[in-house]
Amino acid sequence: MAGSKLCALCLMLVGTLAVPILRAQSIHVDATPGHATNTIKPTEALGAGIDRLPYGAADKLFVEDTIKQILSAGWQTVTYRQNTELHVEAWHWNPQGAWSDPAGKGYFTGSATPGTELVRHSYGYALPHRGVTRDDGTDTEGYSRLTDGDEDSYWKSNPYLAKAYTGEDDALHPQWVFFDLSGRQDVSAIRIAWAEPFAAKYAVQYWTGEDPIRKPAQGSWQAFPGGVVTNGKGGNATLQLATAPVNVQWVRIWMTQSSNTCDSHGSADKRSCLGYAIREVYLGTTTKNGKFHDLLRHTPDQDQTATYCSSVDPWHEPGDLAERAGDQIGFDLFYTSGVTRGLPAMIPIAMLYGTPEDAAAEIAYIEKRGYPISYVEMGEEPDGHYTLPEDYAALYVQFSEALHRVDPKLKLGGPIFTGENKDIEVWPDGDGKASFTGRFIDYLKSHGKLGELAFFSFEHYPMDPGKVQWSSLYDEAYLVQHIMDVWREDGVPANVPFFITESNLSSASSEAYMDIWGGLWLADYIGAFLSGGGSAVYYFHYMPEPIGRGHNGSPGTFNFFSADGDFKIRQPLSQYFVSQLINLEWVQPGDGAHKLFPAASDIRDGAGHVLVTTYAALRPDRQWSLLIINKDQENAHTVSISFDDQEKKAAATFTGPVSLITFGKAQYAWHPNRTGGTADPDGPAIKSTVNAGPSTNFSLPAASVTVLRGVISASKPGSK
């Protein structure tokens, strides 16, 4: 987009010439007042995220000296990340509360009344009616009850997706489970050990494409000839799916009408009598003598035949406590530690594995404490849990109503996608529509609830672990701007802002985080997102953690500090120094409005890749500030810089004192070793002042991030 404006600008400035003319090694800023691409305030647009911490780490990290060093990176507002849902757990954000069953189990609602003791720690509880072996979350220990070999356990779907809560026919929110046989197998029969409630109407289907998870729009689910049941009776149901075996890998049970009979928890709570429940599934073939031959592996761990499910009932009990999985720090510790700077913070609620009552109590507690909330994120990564958009939207509507009964002014949003660079696709609906975003928006519109979407949030992990190359830098500006265009085309209204609420290079830490490469990527991604119209971005992860072994054994950490095993900070890493350039040098710290403008360079490599990207800000102090990334890892570039006003047909240049702050491979080098690695040299950025005029050129060192900041004045009006 910036490039097209630049070409138009060049044609205007040369009058009747038919081709654009650019001087070699130049940066042009389109400073036309009406061409600003965005307006941001640092206290709202430049934030960081705090996630679940290893067990026992919070008390070591939330100390004055560590918080002081973290804040020195300059990030402002904070988002509290909700990790228990990635482990398929119910979150007890407040250890004090009440169970739905007087016997002390069931659905837990945290206490909305603050006590005299501050909540410093909170934990997740594993869900005993789980139906997924593993998904795209962080869970590595749970397992599905569908193939665990125990018919006393069972999977159960989320009761909040039943008609009693959605107000819609169950067929509009079909629940499902499916099985991955790891390779194509001959299948002709299935035995389903139903629990209560069972499916009165269901179909057993197979997938015709390559992969229903990674390529959900490239295939379809087809019912086996004998797989359609319209009058199910529960119990142990054996179906002859076909007279001759069908060679398949993926098999699904698609449930559209519930018996509404009550599960093992009794009838006192209506949630026990809604949805669907299955004890165990057996899949394979039958012989002529009627014997069933099962293909599945039944074991209570992740070596079982992998199963996936549409949803999980959040019922649980005290013995399901999973504190060793990590600490979702208590809200009192979070807000009183100083890490939020006293600014309003983005708060999550557990939606996929929570209840509206508990979410409402959470917000009530925070507000009674007087803690400021900027936004509320609804759930966590529904695409990573393979939740269909209509189900996510139905929960969104229910939870939003509960939250707004507590505070009508709350600004809610989602869906917090896992970090894809392309449109999130799901199995096509009856109209062939596969876009999660499009169908989510459609549902809110059709239910008159689009106004409940105050922001659209997603995570950004653009690189596949183990596949980061230097050339990957060339793609970032396009990736982060293009995905916003995609979601606008899907129907996200123009007045709904985009937030990246969690981001870094990839979903697995690696050496690239510590290398100068990670710093260059960070600057380019932040600049591209905000200049492209994004409203807020949150650095991930704020709190120091020890360097571990990432993808393929590469040492890495999700942080801008290296730390020892006791969580003591060792030294700053490349992203720390670049964070300072962004937050303390490029923008003017505070809540003043900054206008961002298009900018482009003519510096390319032999393959046509743009080597120098620039992000221009007009600060509240009236200084122009350029964030410039030289992605050429071998060569410095000397550039002239002009600020072009198309309306006045005039150009301007930096004039007088110009601050020049540079951080690159000359100031920082990462040296990996068997224990993790160290940086030497390890900064700081180099600062100097240049007395600039119309003929001043600026040097951009190889593999560097540079901020140029000063005032401009017009020169050569009307020509170039």
> What is the pLDDT at residue 648?
86
> What is the pLDDT at residue 10?
36
Going by pLDDT thresholds of 50, 70 and 90, the confidence category of residue 139 is confident
Going by pLDDT thresholds of 50, 70 and 90, the confidence category of residue 20 is very low
> What is the pLDDT at residue 552?
65
Going by pLDDT thresholds of 50, 70 and 90, the confidence category of residue 136 is confident
Angle between helices 389-406 and 436-446 (to 10 degrees): 50
Angle between helices 356-369 and 389-406 (to 10 degrees): 40
Once rounded to an integer, what is the mean pLDDT over residues 451-471?
Answer: 90
Q: Does 11 have pLDDT greater than 50?
A: no
Q: For residue 199, which of 133, 139, 252, 151 has the smallest C-alpha distance?
A: 252
Burial class (CB in 10 A: 0-12, 13-18, 19+), 554: buried
User: Could you tell me if 22 and 10 are in contact, meaning their C-beta atoms sit under 8 angstroms apart?
Assistant: yes
> What is the pLDDT at residue 23?
46
Half-sphere exposure of 172 (CA within 13 A, CB side): 15
Compute the distance between CA of residue 251 and CA of residue 123 in angstroms, rounded to an integer.
35
- At 339-367, the pLDDT tens digits run 999 999 999 999 999 999 999 999 999 99
> What is the pLDDT at residue 583?
98
E strands in 168-311: 175-187, 189-194, 199-207, 221-229, 236-240, 246-258, 277-286, 292-294, 307-309
- Read off the tokens for 612: 């120098």
Q: What are phi and psi of 522, to 5 degrees?
A: -60, -45
Q: Does 17 have pLDDT greater than 50?
A: no
Verify cis geometry, omega within 30 degrees of 0, for the bond prior to 681: yes
Compute the distance between CA of residue 141 and CA of residue 300 in angstroms, rounded to an integer.
10
- At 301-339, the pLDDT tens digits run 999 999 999 999 999 999 999 988 899 999 999 999 999
Once rounded to an integer, what is the mean pLDDT over residues 593-599?
Answer: 98
Residue with tokens 């990736």: 479
Higher pLDDT, 133 or 514: 133
Three-point CA angle 55, 57, 62, nearest 5° = 140
484 residue type, one letter: M
Q: For residue 623, which of 580, 667, 661, 579 has the smallest C-alpha distance?
A: 661
- Read off the tokens for 425: 């696709």
**Domains of the chain, with CATH numbers?**
2-39+592-672+680-715 (2.60.40.1180), 42-123+326-586 (3.20.20.80), 155-313 (2.60.120.260)
Three-point CA angle 246, 252, 255, nearest 5° = 130
Q: Does 639 have pLDDT greater than 60?
A: yes
Kindly state the helix (H) or strand (E) to which residue 478 belongs, with its residue range. helix 476-489
- At 600-612, the pLDDT tens digits run 999 999 999 999 9
Compute the distance between CA of residue 196 and CA of residue 185 in angstroms, rounded to an integer.
30
Angstrom distances, CA of residue 674 to CA of 364, 517, 547, 671: 48, 20, 11, 10
- At 524-562, the pLDDT tens digits run 999 999 999 999 999 998 999 888 766 666 777 888 999
Angstrom distances, CA of residue 134 to CA of 98, 140, 436: 30, 7, 21
> What is the pLDDT at residue 513?
78
Burial class (CB in 10 A: 0-12, 13-18, 19+), 602: middle
- At 487-512, the pLDDT tens digits run 999 999 999 999 999 998 877 767 77
Which of 378-387, 456-465, 681-690 has the lowest average pLDDT?
A: 456-465
- Read off the tokens for 559: 């942080």
* Mean pLDDT, the chain, whole residue set: 93
Partners of 23 in beta bridges: none
> What is the pLDDT at residue 352?
97
- At 408-433, the pLDDT tens digits run 999 999 999 998 789 999 999 999 99
Q: Does 8 have pLDDT greater than 70?
A: no
Once rounded to an integer, what is the mean pLDDT over residues 452-473?
Answer: 90
Q: Does 78 have pLDDT greater than 50?
A: yes
